Structure formats: C-alpha cells, structure tokens
Structure 1
Amino acid sequence: MARTQLSLASHLARLESETDFDGWRDAARRLATNDIPPEEVAWQVGHDDDDRGNDLPACRQDARLVVPREFIERAETVICHSDPERFNFLYRLLWRLRVEPKLPRKLESMEKAVWRDIHKMRAFVRFRKIGDGAEERYVAWFEPDHFIVERNADFFVRRFAGMRWTILTPHASAEWDGKRLAIGPGASKRDAPAEDDAETLWRTYFENIFNPARLKVKAMQKEMPKKYWRNLPEASLIPDLIAGADRAATAMIARMPTSPAPRHAKVKAKHWPSPEPADVVEPESTDIPALREEASGCRRCPLWRDATQTVFGEGPENADVVFVGEQPGDQEDLAGKPFVGPAGKVFDSILDQAEIDRRKVYVTNAVKHFKFEPRGKRRIHSKPNAGEIRACRWWLDKELDIIKPNLAVALGATAAQSLLGKAVPITRMRGDVIQREDGLRVFVTIHPSFILRIREHEDKEAERERFLTDMRKVKQLMAA
C-alpha cells in the first residue's frame, strides 16, 4: 500500500496475512456498522515502516448488518486472489450490498480464477524424494497465481496422509510430518530438490502410454498451460511427442489387428454363437421384450465383440416420451440396464425434481453396446462413430415403432444424430423441438454425463440447473 494512500485514509485495517479472511470480516463488520465508507479505509497486510496501528472502532451494538450467505462463501475464496485491491473491492461490495443485493460478475470471475488455480495445483504438483529410511520425505515446488497454499493444503493431507511431504511456493509453504500440518513462509525454486530416480521411470511410463491418435494440442495446452511444464518431469517429452504424433498414429493404426485374437473370439463364442451380419434379418417382434431378446444377439457392428452384453431400453410400451441416451457406460454394460451408473443417478435425481416419473417413461440408448478403451483395470468411454450409430439406429427405430411416443428426448450429440439422421450442434440447438418427417417431435439437450465432467463447482451447479430447466420443458411438452 503506497504511503500517500495510507495518509489519505481515515482508518487503517491491518490483516495478519494475505489470506486473513477472519481478520477482514471482523474489520469489515466494524467499519460497516459504523457507516465508514470504503474511500476512508486503507487495507494493509502485516507491518512496514509505518508505525500506525489498527484504529478501527468497535462494532455498534445497535447496528444490524445482513449480507447474503453466498457473498460470505464467495468472499472467503476471493480473499485468496492475488489482486492487491481485493480487500477494498470486497468491502466496497459489502457496502453496496446494504442497498443493492446483487453480486457483480467480477466477484464470480475472481472466484473462478482461484478455484482454477487450486485445481491446477492438485493436478501438477510433482513430489521428489529426498533422504531414505527414517529421513525419507517428499518435496515439491509449485508456482501458483494466487494465495491458495493454505486453502489447498488439506487436500494433500488427505491424498498423501501416509508420507511426509513439503510443498514449496513463492507465497507460502505447507509441511506435513504425518501428524501435523504447518503453513510457513514462501521459498525460492533453489530450495527445491533436483530430479530423483523416480522421474526417469515416470517419463518412460508417460512416453509409453501416450496415445498419438487422441492428441488434441489446443485442449492439452488449455488444461496444462506451458507455465507448468518446467516443473513437470514429463514435460521435456511433450514437444517431441507432439511433433511425431501424426507419424506415430499412422504406425499405430497399421499395427492394429484386423480380427480379434483367437482366444478372445473363443471366449465370445461361448456367449454368442452369432451369425454373420449378412445372415441377420429384419426384427419382426411386435413387443419390447421380444425385441430385446432379438437384440441380445446383434452383430450389426463390431462393438458386440468387447461388450459384456447388449443393453436394451426399458420402460412401458405405452410411454408418451422416450429418452434416448448415447451409449451404455461401464456400469450399464455390467448390469444390462440403461442409466444405472453415475450419469443415471444424476438423471434420476433431476427427473424427480422436474416431477417426471421414470417408471412412466421409456429410457434407451442410441447405441446398445458399450464402446470403450482399456486403461489399466478401467474401461474408458469412447464415442461411437457414424457407422456404429447408423447400424444401431435399426433397433432404435423399431423401439419407436412399437412405443409410438409423442416426444423423444435426445440426450447428447450421439442421440440427436441417431434420432435426426444427421449431426447437430447441441449447444446451439439445445432446448429446440424438431419435428421429423414421421411427425415425431425431438427435444434436444445435453447428456447428464456432461454435468459430471465439469470440474468447477459453480459451473457444475449452473449446468445442473440448466438441465433441470430442460426437463421441466419436457414435462410441459409431455402434457401438450
């Protein structure tokens, strides 16, 4: 704080640290209850050559200060922002809230910046081992944009409770000895240890799991900005991996087998003694249970080879609305039922809020087999291609022929493509009702799994509210 600003202010509020929210709140309460406007207050962290003390009045007992809980919660995060004017900004906002209960966009923007920095720290901290035996501990160097170390330290305590560690940053340090967490002063990169043996192993692992066919440079740099590269052991590999990605992808595709391994085909044969695609005939079933049975042996595209089973739709045959998802996930593939995994739980919860009874609607997927990529012991969802969507539309059309709904809800891009016969921009067409040539109305929205992929808490809640609004529109359309 410049000396001229201090001299012009009638009151000085001193805070113990850059993240002293309790101190700020106490000072703000004293100032506001005594009707002291923001322009008469100077805020300062710690002490300097100026020997002027904290001269704030006591809270007026007859004054009542009421602010939205949302402001308090957001202010506690924004106090960690690196903007030196944040204390004054928050007090000006508190002053204004007494007559205008509206939070500005700047507050939301600053809050998001802090949370983004918190997430980056959790993703890009890399520990290096120093010492052995009883002296073993792990040290990391990180350069955050904001004052987030203290707010973020509990996450690392929970994640690495069994080891002793220290995280050094220019602003502050966090140290965990296995029992007690201590927050200390900042450090310089010279205090961080040099590379250890584990990093060579990690680079070898990273280079071998790198999939050039899935590389999206802009998306990668958005999630992992270059400013973090210098502190990541794998970062030294990234430029060469990007440069050779096209060549590596071509070579990888050339190495791919054109048919499943014999042992794999043998295992599948026990479960599905299936016909060749040319032998598959048009389904003749006139009810859903019989159609489901026919679909259990579907071989119209190669996805059946790796999936556990066909996941067919379920619900009443006289349903007014059919919800069409994209494809089964890991849990749906194992259970043989649609929408029973994490996205299904979000879907059920929001249907309840929108007062839509799932027992009275039909729920299915555009693609009936789980398409995935193995990653260790996990199976990671992979988006169906146009040929797979087109092949499986055969079954979806039959479901619609039997049920004859008044409305179909396309949950996501794959569902919309299957229902409308072409790719459509979900973001632009969300909430639209499109009538097909056969008269079926199609309502376009996101897939609930999109909500689960959002990292920022505020963004996640906002998207959940948007999806709830969509489902309430569906409720109205069902009655129309």
Structure 2
Amino acid sequence: MTALRQVDADVRYAVRLPEPDDFDFWRDRARALVQCGVAPERISWLEPHGAGELFAHGDEPLPVPDARSRPVRASRRFIEVARNAALHSDPQRFALLYRLLWRLQSNPAIMDDKADSDVRRVEDLAKAVRRDSHKMHAFVRFRRIEGDTAGGERYVAWFEPDHHILRANASFFVRRFAGMAWSILTPRGSLHWDGETLEEGPPAQRSDAPAGDPMEELWRSYYASIFNPARLKVGAMLKEMPRKYWKNMPETALIPGLVAGAQQRERTMVAEGAMEFEARPGSLKGVDEAIHACHRCPIGSLDNRAVMGEGPKGAALMIVGEQPGDQEDEAGKPFVGPAGQLLDRHLEKAGIDRGRTYVTNAVKHFKFEPRGKRRLHKSPSAKEIDTCRWWLESERELVRPKLILAMGGSAARGLLGKSVSISKARGEPIALEDGSELWITAHPSYLLRLDGAAREEQARLFDADLAAVKERLSELAA
C-alpha cells in the first residue's frame, strides 16, 4: 500500500488507549496511521493499566497525516462489526481491527469474504459481545436498598460481564429504568443513575451489592406460577441462561425443583397416555380395526379417518412419520402426499426398497385446522403422541423390525416416550429394549418447507442418514 505521507519504515509505535472500550479513540488513531502508511506489524495497541509489549516504544510520537493524504476507506459493515468487536476482552482485538482496516484499503470487499480468517475472527468477537450484552439486558436483577437516597430507596445490581460492555449498555438501562435510582456494579466498573444524571464509578466486588430484598419472594412466586413444564427444554434453557448468571438471580433457586417436577409430570403423562387397552390386538388387521374405533384423544373425534401402517409383516425396516396428512387421510394410506413422494425419491436414491419396508406414523389420525374448504396441518401435542404410542408399539410387536427410522421429533417421541433433539440424535443408533435399533432423522416435510441452499444442505443430511440406515441393514442381514 502506498500513502502520500511517508514515515520511517523501521519505527515502531505504541498507541495507548485511555479506556479498553474506546472505539472512537482507536478509530481516529487508526485512520491517521493508515494515511501515513504505517503497516500493522509496526503498531502495538495497549490498553490502560496493561504491561505493554516487549518492543513497544511509548516515547515515539505518532505520525500525523498531511493535507495530501488520501482518505481511508471503511465500509459500513466493517464499522458496525468493529464497534462491537472493540468491546471484546481479547487483548489482540485492536491489532486485528487495524490489520483488517489496512487490508480494506486494497480490497474494499473483504468483509464479504466469509472464508477470510480475519473477517471470521472479528465477526466472532462481535457476536460474543452481542451475546454478552443480551445476557446483561436479561439477567441484571436490581435489589432494593432502603433509605439510600432522598427519595427513600435505591436499587443496586451486581453483574459479571465477560467483555467491556458496561458503558455501551448504559443507555438501555437509563431508558428502561428512568424513573428509579439505581446502580450497576461489575468487576470492570460501575454505573450510577439518580433519575437525572448518569455517573461512572470504579470496579466493584460482589460483596458491595446487597444479598436480597423482601420483593424477591414475590418475584419467585410469580416465576414459579409462569413456569411452563410443557415447554421445558433443559438444554435450550441452559444455553440461553447459563449457570454462571444464576447466583445473581433470585428465581434460579427454584429451577432445579421446577425442572424435576416438570420431568416427573412428563413421565406421568406418558404413562397415562400409553394406557393399557385391555389387550393388544393379535394381528395388524386387528390393529387397523382398533384404531378406526379409537377416540381416546381429541384427534380421533375430528372429521377424519385412521390411517394404518403399510408394509409386510416381518419387514427388517420400519419407517415412522408424525401423522397422516390431508392426502393420506383421503386415500387411507400412509405417505402418499408430497412428503411421501419426496421420501420415495430419497429411498430409491439410497437403495432402500419401500415395498419391503413397513411405513407408519406415530399418530394415526390427521390433526388439522379447517380454513374454508382447506384442512391445514396442525402438530399433535405430546399427550396425543403418548396416547397413540399404544398403537405404534402394537405394530412394532407384530412387525418386529430390526431397525426403525423415526422421521421428525413426533416420531422420535412416539418411540422413546420423550422429546429429543433431531440434530443431536441423528446419525447414531439407539438401542431399544426389544433388541432393535432406532435411527432418527428429519421429516421429509421439513425439507419441503426450505428453499435454496438450506434445502440442499438438509437434503444432503437426509441422504446421509438413509445411506447409514441402508448400510446398517446390510450388516444386520449378513
């Protein structure tokens, strides 16, 4: 890169930032250094209170561009990402940002290159900062201190951010809690709002914040009342609310008990749903007759008819879907609509003969919502799947497949009695109590709802799952 203003190519410079989150200071210095043609490897970016680098020379004055220096190019995308990345705790973030800014001068479109290591790294930093800010918005909990202000009360919160996000998020809390006096204490600094003026303060310790207040019992009661066990996904909950934040949130003391209670209620629901229907039918024809007479869940009372599984008794492979669709309900046969036609194409590609496969659904009736003359698919509830599990187990007992392929979350629940993550469970066999193997994949209807690259990627994964099933069937037959 050539700049109009030339400087000594052997000189190294140290830029000392006044604050670890001062993006504007970094931007001004970086712009001037680029205009003076100072390459990235000749600059040390130092945070306040840092030990510096071995070869950083703080007494070397920074060069100043003259009027002939060409303007610095920086895309809007770069500025947006850089503002967040600058708040990260990585000590090399400012060097990374300068290197990327330097490269932008010769390649203005570099931010569009997702394969570039610098671009990927700076976007990862920015993403981590956004996530940290989101956690701060969600998990700051104020506790009341009596008699701390002229108004009689003040609210104090303790939070431990991973990055330098405190000042960047001050306006959020000023807007949201404008009418009360509050302080947010963190190991990286503190904020204090009196209803009119925001002030910054030094870092704090956990012991500086109050341990609790009388309002927390009311909040815990409210939280327990809105906790919905039917929507509980422990893995997703821990991803969104990591345990590191629990110690500062009064409601989290309730979570282990609430989770345990929800899981017990789920087990009870499964047991009640898969109730004993006196005796299992002794033939597939008997199952067919029984499901047509079944009204033990609301789906069986709709304007539809039961759809029995199809395929030879003794099939080595059983494929289980969610429920019949509109066309399956009309025809009385499983997988004859768009999803079934797509399944047939992928089965043929994998070398799996559908004619030698038993195909059925976890739920035997079509659940729908009427819209004029149309019937729109509606997903069955967990209890409806668990109730119909009796019939699916009856089919399994009669067909006795060596391998079962569950397509979608409803099918997996119908076979396991619990909800699972498709992305985590696919690709590996699950041993069942009767000695058969369960494999899990997506439902073909999921592929139909996607477009473009997303559909191609999911189709690739679906084909890979079917290929693995085909290979395992060959091994079991050997």
Counterpart of 2:250 in structure 1 is 233
Change (3 A) 1:209 1:248: farther
Mapped partners of 2:178, 2:383: distance in 1: 37
**For the Cα contact (< 8 Å) 1:426–1:444, is it kept in 2?**
no
1:92 match: 99
Give the superposition deviation at 1:97. Answer: 3.0
Is 1:77 equivalent to 2:89 in the alignment?
Answer: no
Q: Give, as a single letter, the amino acid of the residue that structure 2 aligns with 1:172.
A: G
Are the counterparts in 1 of residues 21 and 86 from structure 2 also a CA contact under 8 Å?
A: yes
Between 1:71-80 and 1:58-67, the stretch displaced more is: 58-67
Identify if the C-alpha distance between structure 1 residues 237 and 416 changes in structure 2 by more than 3 Å, giving closer, same or farther.
closer
1:424 Cα offset (Å): 11
Please name the residue that 1:38 is paired with.
Answer: 40
Conserved? CA contact 2:13–2:58, under 8 Å? no
1:124 to 128, 131, 139: 139
The letter for the 2-side match of 1:245 is A
Residues 415/95 of structure 1: CA separation in 2 closer, same or farther (3 Å cut): farther
Aligned to 1:365: 377
Deviation at 1:299, TM superposition (A): 10
CA distance in 2, matches of 1:165, 1:299: 62
In the TM superposition, residue 138 of structure 1 has moved relative to its aligned partner by: 1.4
Name the residue aligned to 1:68. 75
RMSD: 5.6
* Cross-structure match for 1:171: 188
Partner in structure 1 of residue 64 of structure 2: 57
AA of the residue aligned to 2:91: P
Unaligned 5+ residue runs, structure 2? 1-9, 52-56, 274-290, 296-300, 307-324, 327-336, 341-367, 392-407, 414-419, 427-442, 459-478
Asked if the contact 1:212–1:249 (Cα under 8 Å) also holds between the matched residues in 2, the reply is no
Match of 1:146 in 2: 163
Say yes or no: does 1:115 pair with 2:117.
no
- Match in the other structure for 2:220: 203
Q: CA deviation at 1:136?
A: 2.1
Letter in 2 for 1:96: R
Change (3 A) 1:218 1:47: closer
**1:18-65 CA distance string (max 9 Å, x none):** 111111111111111111011211222347899748624236633243
Cα gap change, 1:186/1:31 in structure 2, threshold over 3 Å: closer, same or farther? same
Contact 2:96 2:122 in 1 (8 A): no
The offset of 1:425, in angstroms, is: 5.3
Distance 2:159 2:22 in 1: 22
Question: SS at the partner of 1:221?
Answer: helix
- Rounded to whole Å, the distance in 2 between the matches of 1:248 and 1:444 is 29
1:106 aligns with 2:121: yes
* Alignment partners' CA distance in 2, 1:200 and 1:192: 18
One-letter identity of the residue aligned with 2:191:
A
Q: 1:403 maps to which residue? A: none
Q: CA deviation at 1:151?
A: 1.9
Structure 1 residues 164 and 386, CA gap change in structure 2 (3 angstroms): same
Between the aligned partners of 1:198 and 1:94, the Cα distance in structure 2 is 50
- Matched-pair contact (CA < 8 Å) for 1:78–1:114: yes
| Residues 160, 187 of structure 2: 8 Å contact kept | yes
Structure 2 match to 1:477? none
The Cα of 1:89 is off from its aligned counterpart by 1.4
User: What is the match of residue 159 of structure 1?
Assistant: 176
Provide the secondary structure at the position in 2 that maps to 1:75.
helix
- 1:135 matched to which residue of 2? 152
Structure 2 distance, partners of 1:143, 1:156, is 16
Equivalents in 2 of 1:23, 1:64: separation in Å?
18
Give the AA of the match of 1:111.
A
- Deviation, 1:143, is 0.2
The alpha-carbon deviation at position 70 of structure 1 amounts to: 1.6
Task: Answer yes or no: is the 8 Å Cα contact 1:384–1:414 preserved in 2.
Answer: no
Structure-1 separation of matches of 2:74 and 2:139: 37
8 Å Cα contact 2:13-2:60 kept in structure 1: no
How big is the shift at 1:129? Answer: 1.0
1:372-401 Cα offsets, whole Å, 9 max, x none, are xxxxxxxxxx7973767999xxxxxxxxxx
Does the alignment pair 1:249 with 2:261? no
Query: What's 1:193 paired with?
Result: 210
What is the distance in 2 between the residues matched to 1:201 and 1:424? 35
State the alpha-carbon separation in 2 of the partners of residues 210 and 17 from structure 1: 42
CA-to-aligned-CA distance 1:53-112 (integer Å, 9 cap, x gap): 862423663324323322221111000000111111111222233345245321122122
Hey, what's the Cα distance between the residues in 1 that align with 2:127 and 2:133? 10
Residues of 2 paired with 1:10 and 1:75: CA distance?
24
Secondary structure of the 1:385 match is helix
Which amino acid in the other structure matches residue 173 of structure 2?
F
Query: Match for 2:124: what amino acid?
Result: S
Residue in structure 2 matched with residue 14 of structure 1 by the alignment: 16
Give the AA of the match of 2:47: V
Identity of aligned residues (%): 40
Alignment of 1:207-226 (within 5 A): 207=224, 209-210=226-227, 215-226=232-243
How has the CA–CA distance of structure 1 residues 161 and 57 changed in structure 2, closer, same or farther, with 3 Å as cutoff?
same
The one-letter code matched in structure 2 to 1:365 is H
CA distance in 1, matches of 2:99, 2:128: 20
CA distance in 2, matches of 1:253, 1:234: 26
**Aligned residue type for 1:385:** I
2:38 partner SS: coil
Residues 114, 148 of structure 1: 8 Å contact kept: yes
For residue 177 of structure 1, report the CA deviation from its aligned partner: 3.0
Q: TM-score, normalised by structure 1?
A: 0.53
Q: Greater CA radius of gyration, 1 or 2?
A: 2
Distance in 1 of aligned mates of 2:452 and 2:173: 31
**C-alpha separation between the residues in 1 aligned to 2:16 and 2:456?**
46
Give, in whole Å, the separation in 2 of the partners of 1:48 and 1:108.
25
